[in-house]
Structure 1
Amino acid sequence: MLSHPAHLIAQGFGSGLSRIMPGTSGTLLAWLSFHVLTTRWPHLFTPLNWAIIIAVGFLVGIWACHKTGKDLGIADHGSMVWDEIIAFWAVLLLLTPAGFSTQLWAFLWFRFFDMVKPAPIRYFDRHIKGGFGVMWDDIVAAFYTLLVFAVWRSL
């Protein structure tokens, strides 16, 4: 992880090295970091700044995940969780303000869509390679998560 900055980022600052469910560990890091940063420095971590961080993080993630996947010899290695972090930050940003219960449901729905990979997530996961492919399927899982909340709130 420490051999290259791309590995540090792609592997979620070590959260992706968890032996048990690294994607879930990365998503938990995203949730914790979003909460801590937004609560501790609300004047700095505003919705606009989070949107910029997420957009830049997506672009950095394309590079970091491509480099790390290439170096590890597996394009979408399980230890790469930056895609979960960026996608779940987007979910939290678009649901905020939200209480713990809503955030917990968002976490569970996001993990469900990321693990089950319903269409077209599975298609993107299998056919779009490189760093963009790694990042993109989680963005679609985030979209599905937000769609669940949009439907739920409209009922």
Structure 2
Amino acid sequence: MRIGELAERTGTPRRMLRYYEEQGLLVPDRSPNGYREYCERSVDRVLQIRGLLDSGLPTRIIKQVLPCLKLPRAIHVTDAAPETIATLERERDRMTRRIECLVRSRDAISEYVEAVRRNRPRPAAEPPVAPVAPVTSAASAASAASATDYALPLSA
């Protein structure tokens, strides 16, 4: 498939797919005329990249993690340098702190919304509006305008 189809299937702009290629995250084949050609596996790879980016990982870390993600939702463990493990642990801890902060923010918003809903008075029913007769001439328009400039609520 070409870049346009991959962009459509993954919801990722073409420019972003080219960026993934520049960063070494996505490696397309090239057709004889130079067009990028992507295999079906590229759809899963792009979704993995987007998920990792959305979780806050920088592309330099994603590049280290991607070889472990051979299949969608599967992790293939390879030997990693101690520096890589330490970097991944720091990123994991940073993500955990971010998740905790997001959960606190979500809970605070939920509490606020519930408090507003509990304390909000019920809206009163709108009073019915008196019908206005259609205007058929300039004279009747002047007459109608002098009687009322707008529709008045019916008294109960």
> Shorter-chain-normalised TM-score: which range?
under 0.3
TM-score by length of 2: 0.24
Higher helix share: 1
Structure number with bigger Rg? 2
TM-score by length of 1: 0.24
